[in-house]
Structure 1
Amino acid sequence: MQVTQTQSEGLKREFKVTVPASDLQERRAARLQELARTVNIPGFRPGKVPASVVKQRFGQSVEGEVLDKTINECVSELMKTHDLRPASQPKVDVGQLDDASDLEFTLNLEVLPAITIPETSDITLTRLTAKPAQDGIDKALEELAKRNRSFEDIEEARPAKEGDVLNVNFVGKIDGTPFDGGTANDVNVEIGGAGFIPGFAEQIEGMSAGEEKTINVTFPADYQAKELAGKEAQFEIKANSLKKPVDPAIDDELAKKMGFESLEKLRELISNQAENEYSQLTRLRIKRELLDKLAEKTDFEAPESMIEAEFGQIWQRIEQDRQNGSLDEEDASKSEDDLRTDYRKIAERRVKLGLLLAEIGREKEISVSREELMGAVQQEAMRYPGQEQAVFEFFGKNPQAVEGLRGPILENKVVDYLIELAQVTDKEVTPEELADMPGASLS
């Protein structure tokens, strides 16, 4: 094999590789001889098939097999000899080839940059923490009581007003035709409450039991049923009865109704859940601060192919949000060019931080065990109640999907390692202040 480097610009490399025709011929002949010893062809004893017959039967497939194997071996040897760490799948361009010619191909690739791990012991971080407040627990209990409320009939014949619950039947139509999910009976609608299409509850305020009315509403652009999103609809409504909501007392009886021994046990659960939520927010906040400090210390070039791949994934989500009308207000006000510029910078930041964290993990020999991978699979399965077995089967049949979980685990282990090295100051804040802090990602 003869290798000539034809390009070395930034992280881009190009090599021209030549394999003599004689080497290819030897490989073809060896493979055909191997087949001749093992194939069964009617009319010939095993191992006695003439070389000409084997070549006639298998020559074309052997040609492709030898070509692929030769290229793969050459690329592997070239990578090892030149100590190359590709940033993405190398591109191979093969020239014209026949039985008598040398194999010539061009290898194009981007390599990972040389990364000097910056000093991290001088990084200062603030770990924000919060404790569950009694008023927050009380508010959560009030919400639980509302969800377990009962409804009592209002005997007085009067129009529905804010705070009342109107029991209705309705038929929804679009362009005069009923649509799936648009018809229901005995539905309780709280006047002034949330949960229905905007304009629905507002327009039935003032209706009395026995009254009928047709209202017009427009489904939100981000409505969960995409076939209805943004469309105008008419609802034919019949009011059945007027009710008032009655919240249960917040006591042991409410707790027992929800499966707890006592109100104290229910308060304990709510407090523990809040503590877990705050711990996650604390973790996200300090991780984001760490990543911001690391981003200031990165001064290497990121591979263009990796930036493009990351940007492609980000932009796909932006396009989906735009189609669903769910872009945040700041992004919605920007032009497409400005959005592309901003998110390309985010993609570059993500790639650089990802490479830096991976390099730190490599140098410090931080790895992901099989047990940790299996734990991640277990967590993924828990996200789909009732479908756990299907999730396990999917990962069992797709080892590459399991490997896809390795990156986030390694990232978090390296982050934990760096936080341990940093100078960390703890600061207690209110739950509201903690929740108001930005989250954490490589962006």
Structure 2
Amino acid sequence: MKITETNVTGLTHSFQIIIPAAEITRSMDVRLNKIGKTVQMPGFRKGKIPLLMLKQRYGRAALGEVVEDQVEKSVQKALTDAKIRPALKPKVTLDHFHEGEDLSIKVSVEALPKIEQLSIEGFSLDNLKADISEKEIDTRIEKLKEHSKVPVALKKPRSIQEGDVVYLAYTISLDKKVIDKKEGEGAPYTVGSNFFGIEFDASLKGLKVGDVGTKDVILPSPNFGKDAGKKAEITYTIKEIMVLEAPSLEVLSNSNGFKDVAEFKKALQESIVSHYDSYSRQNMKRQILDRLSQDHQFEVPQGLVGMEFEAIWKEHESFEKDEGNKDAKPLSPKEKEELQAEYRTIAERRVRLGLLLAEVGIQNNIKVTNQELGKALYEYSMNYPDHQKEIIEYYRNNPDAMTTFQAPIFEEKVVDFIIQKSKLKDRSVSIDELMRVIDEDDENLDEKKSDQKLDEKSSKTSVKKVKKSS
């Protein structure tokens, strides 16, 4: 086998590889003899079939397998000898081959850049700590009480008001045919929910227990399936009027499993602190990414940049289709070109950051454990309770699919490692100030709503490629 590196341009390496005909013939004989031990042919015992006859019947298939195997081995040897970690799968083209002659192929491969030993010991990060005041805790408690309201009987009889829960005995008819009915004590209906429309809710206000009424309504979706959107008639009787009442702090504490108010407020404070600590970590991650990007400039594989750009552009197009301004004029060719150039710059930054984070992980022997992968897979499968078992089995039987979970876990472990090695400067800030910093991070990254937090995702593709190549 003769391997010649014919050209190096940036990160792209080109090779010409010649595999001697004798080597292919020898591999063919080995392959055919192996086939001869497993197949049967009339007039011959298994394992005693002449090589010539095996070649006549199985030669074409065997040759294809041998050539594929020889090409794969030769390409791998070329990469190993040149100490190349490929960014993407090498591109192989057949230069020359006829049976009985040497096999000549051309190989083009883009290498991952060689990154020097990364030092992160000198990192200094602002650790913004949200100041959780008693007022914030009280505000959260009031919100919890508001969401925990339950209907209770009126202390004194009165007419229906906005926000009341009214029990209605009703009959709904469509084209004079009853399609829904509730008798007896009736069913609860919250006035102000506008379930049957604003006009229906308005017609209930001022009525009292025992009052009856008839009203045309539009059937809502999805409760009425194929009849949704159709005009129907509802005839009802007011059976009971109840008012929504928030629980006391003691009842709220007990209903959430706490022995007293003090324990409940302490747990709530810890929950709030944890919530805003996640934003603080997000800001520290931004500082790390900015520092890495600033300190390390190197050529990145354009193949990875192209893949990242395509992902960003598809995200942009999807956003414009689903949430963009429907009346906005299409981009002119020049505007589109400028926007794509901007997104390509973002793609290059993402790839560079992904490679740097991956390299930090490799140099410091950071790994994702099977336990961490299993936990991530289980949490993901919980989103699909009806197919949880099938999802878990699919991912466990498809190692490549598991990288969907491995890459983000690996990246976050690297970020945590850098934070642990950094000098943290704690600074107490108000919640408003912390959120203002987070918003500024997003705005500085990209003013376009469709592409906020692009760098927060980093380049999972880059992380995956480096880990596979290492």
Say yes or no: TM over 0.5. Answer: yes
C-alpha contact (below 8 Å) 1:211/1:238 kept by paired residues: yes
C-alpha contact (below 8 Å) 1:17/1:106 kept by paired residues: yes
CA distances 1:424-443 after superposition (whole Å, capped 9, x unpaired) = 20011223333341477155
Cα 1:367–1:150 change in 2 (3 A) is: closer
- Quote the offset at 1:303 in angstroms: 0.7
Structure 1 residue 293 corresponds to structure 2 residue 260: no
Match of 2:63 in 1: 63
Match of 2:111 in 1: 111
- 3-state DSSP of counterpart to 1:405: helix
- Quote the offset at 1:45 in angstroms: 1.1
- Which whole-Å CA distance do the structure 2 matches of 1:255 and 1:299 have between them? 54
Cα 1:134–1:244 change in 2 (3 A) is: farther
Match of 2:313 in 1: 315
CA distances 1:204-235 after superposition (whole Å, capped 9, x unpaired) = 56323625245799x9xxxx9xx99xxx9676
- Quote the offset at 1:79 in angstroms: 0.5
CA distances 1:94-147 after superposition (whole Å, capped 9, x unpaired) = 245331332122211111112235554443210011254333333333333333
- Quote the offset at 1:354 in angstroms: 0.8
Q: How does 1:31-46 map to 2 (within 5 A)?
A: 31-46=31-46
Match of 1:349 in 2: 349
Q: How does 1:8-407 map to 2 (within 5 A)?
A: 8-95=8-95, 97-117=97-117, 119-151=119-151, 156=158, 163=163, 188-191=189-192, 202=198, 204=200, 206-208=202-204, 210=213, 212-213=215-216, 238=234, 240=236, 245-325=243-323, 336-382=336-382, 384=384, 388-407=388-407
C-alpha contact (below 8 Å) 1:166/1:239 kept by paired residues: no
- 3-state DSSP of counterpart to 1:206: helix
- 3-state DSSP of counterpart to 1:108: strand
- 3-state DSSP of counterpart to 2:393: helix
- Quote the offset at 1:357 in angstroms: 1.5
- Quote the offset at 1:391 in angstroms: 3.8
Worse-superposed segment, 257-266 or 425-434? 257-266
C-alpha contact (below 8 Å) 1:170/1:236 kept by paired residues: no
C-alpha contact (below 8 Å) 1:349/1:442 kept by paired residues: no
Cα 1:315–1:183 change in 2 (3 A) is: farther
Q: How does 1:421-440 map to 2 (within 5 A)?
A: 421-436=421-436, 437=438, 438=441
- Which whole-Å CA distance do the structure 1 matches of 2:200 and 2:337 have between them? 45
Worse-superposed segment, 7-16 or 413-422? 413-422
CA distances 1:252-310 after superposition (whole Å, capped 9, x unpaired) = 33444455444444434433322321222221111111111211112101111111112
- Which whole-Å CA distance do the structure 2 matches of 1:36 and 1:60 have between them? 15
Whichever residue aligns with residue 345 of structure 2, its letter is K
- Which whole-Å CA distance do the structure 2 matches of 1:166 and 1:319 have between them? 46
Higher helix share: 2
- Quote the offset at 1:72 in angstroms: 0.4
- Which whole-Å CA distance do the structure 1 matches of 2:242 and 2:190 have between them? 11
**Which residues of structure 2 form unaligned runs of 5+?**
208-212, 443-452, 459-470
RMSD: 4.0
- Which whole-Å CA distance do the structure 2 matches of 1:411 and 1:124 have between them? 20
C-alpha contact (below 8 Å) 1:110/1:305 kept by paired residues: yes
Cα 1:187–1:413 change in 2 (3 A) is: same
- 3-state DSSP of counterpart to 1:300: coil
Whichever residue aligns with residue 143 of structure 1, its letter is K
Q: Give the % identical residues.
A: 27
- Quote the offset at 1:247 in angstroms: 1.8
Cα 1:323–1:238 change in 2 (3 A) is: farther
- Which whole-Å CA distance do the structure 1 matches of 2:104 and 2:361 have between them? 38
Whichever residue aligns with residue 212 of structure 1, its letter is K
- 3-state DSSP of counterpart to 1:48: coil
Cα 1:212–1:296 change in 2 (3 A) is: same
Whichever residue aligns with residue 275 of structure 1, its letter is V
Report the count of equivalent residues.
418
Tell me the TM-score normalized by structure 1.
0.79
C-alpha contact (below 8 Å) 1:125/1:424 kept by paired residues: yes
CA distances 1:366-403 after superposition (whole Å, capped 9, x unpaired) = 33334443343344345555755444322321122334
- 3-state DSSP of counterpart to 1:207: helix
- Quote the offset at 1:67 in angstroms: 0.8
- 3-state DSSP of counterpart to 1:14: strand
Match of 2:7 in 1: 7
C-alpha contact (below 8 Å) 2:149/2:247 kept by paired residues: no
- Quote the offset at 1:90 in angstroms: 0.9
Whichever residue aligns with residue 99 of structure 1, its letter is E
- Which whole-Å CA distance do the structure 2 matches of 1:318 and 1:167 have between them? 48
Cα 1:111–1:235 change in 2 (3 A) is: farther
- 3-state DSSP of counterpart to 1:93: strand
Match of 1:179 in 2: none
C-alpha contact (below 8 Å) 1:114/1:300 kept by paired residues: no
**Which residues of structure 1 form unaligned runs of 5+?**
177-181
Match of 1:413 in 2: 413
Cα 1:146–1:235 change in 2 (3 A) is: farther
